[in-house]
Homo-oligomer: A and B are copies of this chain.
Amino acid sequence: MPSPPPPAGRPTSKDVARHAGVSQSTVSLVLAGKWRGRVSPATVETVRDAAAALGYRPNTSARSLRLGRTRTVMLVVPVLTSPFFGAVHSGAARVAAERDFGVVVYPTLDGADLAPNAFSPAAIDGVLASSMAAEPLDVLRSAGPGTGHLPLVMLDSEPGHGVPTVNHDVAEGMRTIAEYVVGLGHRRVARLRSTVRTWTFEARDAAFRAALGPAEVVAEACAPLTLDGGREAALSLLAAPARPTALLCDDDLQAAGAYKAARALGLRVPDDLSVTGFDDMRYARVVEPELTTFRLPAVELGARGMTALLDLLDTGDAGPDVVLPGELVIRGSTAPPTPA
């Protein structure tokens, strides 16, 4: 005998069979619910009782091997410490659990590239990937079985690459928030962008400019989506000769950094400077005054994305691309400009 790994001790379907006085096949049929016309109701009950008595739970590896599917999907996110992706995971995990799927998380730690062997430990039926550029996307697609493709759904990514997508309506958000600020009467606005050029970089910009109307952009800068990044960039923006009366940021945390810059320059928010964020993460209400921002339903993004992926696995069709609307949240960081 080729050395059984440790005597195990966990009951198998064979143990249940012996205990119930039937064959292993019967146990399998009963527990899979495919017994109609093959097993009598009385036997079904016997088997179920035996399984319960032994505390039998099927061996996932064996089942996956036989079925060729693992009921596990991978969620690829930049990093989980961000509350945004935490929320995405939360929604995705809930849906997966409901449909009896497991989720393994692959964090592409701080832009580190997706390792081609990223999928070694866990066997994966599909991938739900967030905000990725083009090349990692190729890695993912080519990682499938054989020459085929691994079923894939992308979040907040450019549609039209033959991959189903679920997106936030970021452009609409930008438009809404810009219109609101201009509507308050601001004419000199500054813009603080993200250094990461996602595919929405241009679309966001177009929406912003389209909503500008009579206002003009007096300063613009890119900064990482961090507190210090926001502070430093805002510091230079606010030093512009024609000082802006409003500052639109790509992110709540960045906006919080802008608060720090304003304070350092002796400017009061919103009296001397209106500030807006984006996303409506928890930071938005922590700052004082609370931040006017555009809420993105991150939890729902994860949930809808997972739904699409599991539909794709089950039925071969992920359904149409989804664009989730957000919502303007008006708080205390915006006000009409003080007449100079």
A88-105: CB near B (< 8 Å → 1, else 0) gives: 011001101000111111
Q: How large is the interface on A (under 10, 10 to 19, 20 to 34, 35 or more residues)?
A: 35 or more
A57 contacts the other chain (CB 8 A):
yes
A260 contacts the other chain (CB 8 A):
yes
Contact between B105 and A103, CB atoms less than 8 A apart: yes
Pull 27 A–B residue pairs with CB atoms less than 8 Å apart, ordered by A.
A5-B66, A6-B68, A8-B68, A8-B145, A10-B145, A57-B119, A60-B70, A60-B122, A60-B123, A61-B70, A62-B65, A81-B86, A81-B87, A82-B86, A83-B86, A85-B86, A86-B86, A90-B107, A90-B109, A93-B107, A100-B121, A102-B121, A103-B105, A104-B104, A105-B105, A227-B285, A263-B288
Task: Point out the residues of chain B lying under 8 angstroms from A260, CB to CB.
Answer: 288
Number of copies: 2
Question: Complex Cα distance A60/B96, Å?
Answer: 21
Question: Complex Cα distance A102/B94, Å?
Answer: 19
A1-31: CB near B (< 8 Å → 1, else 0) gives: 0000110111100000000000000000000
A40 contacts the other chain (CB 8 A):
no
Contact between B285 and A283, CB atoms less than 8 A apart: no
Q: CB within 8 Å of B: which of A183-241?
A: 227
Task: Point out the residues of chain B lying under 8 angstroms from A96, CB to CB.
Answer: 121
Which of B145, B253, B286 makes the CB contact (< 8 A) with A9? B145
Interface centre among A90, A101, A227 (most CB of B within 10 A): A90
Q: CB within 8 Å of B: which of A49-85?
A: 57, 59-62, 64-68, 70-72, 79-83, 85
Contact between B57 and A61, CB atoms less than 8 A apart: no
A315 contacts the other chain (CB 8 A):
no
